[in-house]
Amino acid sequence: MQNENKQLRLALVGNPNVGKTTLFNTLTGFNQRVGNFPGITIERKEGQFSQMTLVDLPGIYSLDTFSPEERVTKEYLESSQADVILNIVDATNLERNLYLTLQLQQFGKPVIVLLNMMDLAQAKGLSIDIEKLEQRLQMTVIPIRAKDIITKKQLHQCLHTNNYLPFEQVYTWTNTQQAYADIEAKFLAGIIHKETEPVLTLSEQIDRLILSKWLSLPILFGLVWLMFKITFDWVGGPLADGLSGFFADVIVPFVETTFLTHTTTWFQSFIVDGIFGGIEPVLAALPVVLILFVCLSLFEDTGYMSRIALILDRIMRRLGLSGKAIVPLMLGFGCTVPAVMATKALESQRQQKLATLLLPFMSCNARLPVYVLFAAVFFPGNEGLVVALLYILGIIVAIVLGLLFNQTFFRSDVEPFLLEVPDYRVPTLKNITKQTWEKGKGFVKRATTFIIAANVIIWTLSHIGFQPTFGYVEDLDMSILASVANVFAPIFEPLGFGNWQSVVAIVTGFLAKESVTSTLGVLFSNSEAELSTTLPTFFSTASASAFLVFTLLYTPCMAVIATVKKEYGIKMMWIIVIYPVIVAWIVAWIVYQISQFIM
């Protein structure tokens, strides 16, 4: 007889921002994105935990659902695929958390209550009688620390020995008020003891400063300025320069002298220009990308992002959005793909679509290598300023279009806004290093696989021609690629960069934004001269500015387009493909005219 050892399925359910994903990562060893903001998880994710399947679900306040990601959770629970429900609750906020806990009984499955953030509860002077709580709820209650590995052992033991209370009963109430009254009187009375009366928590003191009338905006701008300084001038920039020098002075000469001395010219060109020329400027930007990512994670993990949402709510309202839209927009400075998914957490479909339309102008970090490259060549000494201006221009374009859309296609009454404000938390070094490591790995992986592959194709097409006979050509202007791209070059003539190489770079940028930089690397660097000396022969300062602006604003990469299609359908996808190109062309033209006038 075979043991009926069906894999146990565990559903992880709880209010937003109580640490579900943190626990998920601890138990499965995965690296899902977490942050101190309600609603980071918007899709369900599965992982393995000691021969059981663990399902991480978006946070949910109750089963009377409202937002789309809450529906994901409800539908999963209704499908009754889960054998056991793990309900994480925030110990500092039992009253509200238990409202969901009691509702979870309606699925007829055992519910294990995981009491997280006990340390915070203690800091607030609360002590909780766990045994009594267990008796009253008739559910197993386990105090845990979501990020602590000990939790894994605890849960492993509990689940494998079936050492938890079975499903007992369904609770029903006529209305919410009754439910809360019951929670207070029947379940929690005499269970929570306030040991000390908290005077003013640290979070409150920090908020006094950060949300104060006169200091809130200066602090916000100061922090953003600091972020830029650290990323471009103090740490990231110098590191990028060092890395770039290391490539040009050490790696490439080493490869040339060791492997390429006895090879043919075309093979040398293939390796040096095709491979190294392309990925060098992309990889050199890695320190900048990572440091910007660390800064953004700090904003999120500390809980400051929620405050930004509050501070800017009034301004965002003018654009027809709520303060919450700050989250996807800020994420857009990292990568537009998660940012598009984060728009799903906004209140209405109108807001979700509107935020998605503005996202392409939040400069994603794959565009950064172009800025770093051009700023170093055309604006030496002012690199940080130029890059900052580009980001600001992106924001201004988004604001102008937001105002425009809000007055036209997206007109509506102001919608209600409700945001839970989390306490500040000290971000853990482990979380930040882990996530930054993942990010860096992804970036390097893309640069060394996809981008190299694209470079090889670009190099090949740019070195094959029909003149005099079909075959290898020394002069790239005679290549197939040049003749095809030259057809489209006139479109960019009014912007000052009507050369075929720029056209190719922009087209490959549709695939991945790093490709803009790597393509320029392949096409503009040659055996005799480096990119920094060839670029000024093709671009003036004015046309370089226009090229930067065009790169900043035009259509996001294919991955984003696919995400938009998945989340919002084909019509929205075409809008996201076409309208940013038009906006980019117009703004780049204006910038070109102005720069020509000034310079």
Partner 1 sequence: MTVAKMKIGESAIVKGFTQENSFVQRLRTMGITENVVIQLKRKAPFSDPLIISCRGSELAIRIQDAKNIVIEV
Binding interface with partner 1 (CB under 8 A):
61-62, 64, 66, 92-96, 99, 175-177, 180-181, 204, 207-208, 211-213, 216-217, 309-311, 313-314, 323, 414, 416-421
Cβ-based neighbour number of residue 186 at 10 Å: 10
Output the CA–CA distances (angstroms, integers) from residue 472 to 48, 265, 266, 462, 492, in the order listed. 53, 11, 8, 9, 28
* φ, ψ for residue 83, nearest 5 deg: -90, -35
Cα gap 362→339, rounded to integer Å: 10
- Cβ atoms of residues 322 and 226 within 8 Å: no
Using the minimum distance from each CB to partner 1, give the nearer residue, 309 or 561.
309
Q: Least distance in Å: CB of 329 to partner 1?
A: 18
Nearer to partner 1, 176 or 433 (CB): 176
Assigned token pair, 141: 């209650």
Alpha carbon distance 427, 305 (integer Å):
13
Kindly state the smallest distance separating residue 61's Cβ from partner 1, in Å.
5
To the nearest whole angstrom, how small is the minimum distance from the Cβ of residue 538 to partner 1? 48
State yes or no: cis peptide before 468, omega within 30 of 0.
yes
Strands 126-128 and 192-194: antiparallel
Least distance to partner 1, CB of residue 195, Å: 15
With vertex at residue 493, the alpha carbon angle to CA 400 and CA 393, rounded to the nearest 5 degrees, is: 25
CB of 31 to partner 1, least distance (A): 28
Question: What distance in Å separates the CA atoms of residue 539 and residue 532, rounded to the nearest whole number?
Answer: 11
Q: What CA–CA distances, in Å, run from 65 to 59, 100, 445, 447? A: 11, 11, 40, 42
CB of residue 589 to partner 1, shortest distance in Å:
37
Residue among 354 and 390 whose Cβ is closer to partner 1: 354
Query: What whole-number distance in Å separates Cα of residue 412 and Cα of residue 546?
Result: 36
- Tell me how crowded residue 500 is: count the other CB atoms within 10 A of its CB: 22
**Between 170 and 217, whose beta carbon lies closer to partner 1?**
217
Cβ atoms 135, 92 nearer than 8 A: no
Task: Supply the minimum distance, in Å, between the C-beta of residue 571 and partner 1.
Answer: 27
Rounded to a whole number of angstroms, the minimum distance from the CB of residue 173 to partner 1 is 11
Side chain identity at residue 181, one-letter code = A
Listed residue (431, 428, 423) closest to 91, CA to CA: 423
From the centroid of its chain, how far is CA 495? 31
Extract the tokens encoding 465.
């021609």
Which C-beta is closer to partner 1: that of 179 or that of 451?
179
For residues 55 and 98, which CB has a smaller minimum distance to partner 1 in the complex?
A: 98
- Least spacing, CB of residue 93 vs partner 1, in Å: 4
DSSP secondary structure string, 517-555? HHHHHHHH--SSS-HHHHHHHH--HHHHHHHHHHHHHS-
Tokens representing residue 173 in the block = 């109430």
Pick between residue 99 and residue 497 the one whose CB is nearest to partner 1.
99
Cα–Cα distance measured from residue 391 to residue 291, given in angstroms and rounded to the nearest whole number? 16
CA 543 – CA 539 distance, rounded (Å): 6
Q: Which is nearer to partner 1, 314 or 430 (CB)?
A: 314
Q: How far is the CB of 363 from partner 1 (least distance, A)?
A: 27
Token pair belonging to 486: 């030259």
Min dist CB 63 to partner 1, Å, is: 9
Q: How far is the CB of 347 from partner 1 (least distance, A)?
A: 9
Distance CA 75, CA 85 (A): 14
Task: Indicate the residue among 118 and 286 with the shorter CB distance to partner 1.
Answer: 118
Q: Mapped to the 3 state alphabet, what secondary structure does 306-347 carry?
A: HHHHHHCHHHHHHCCCCHHHHHHHHHCCCCHHHHHHHHHHCC
Q: How far is the CB of 318 from partner 1 (least distance, A)?
A: 12
Instruction: For Cα atoms 450, 331, 19, give the angle at the middle one, nearest 5 degrees.
Output: 105
Cα first-last separation, the chain: 86
And the tokens for 433? 């290093």
Alpha-carbon distance of 284 to 364, in angstroms, equals 16
DSSP state of 271: I
Q: How far is the CB of 186 from partner 1 (least distance, A)?
A: 16
Least separation in angstroms between CB 179 and partner 1: 8
CA distances 480 to 461, 487, 522, Å, are 6, 12, 15
Looking at the Cβ atoms of 416 and 468, the one nearer to partner 1 is 416
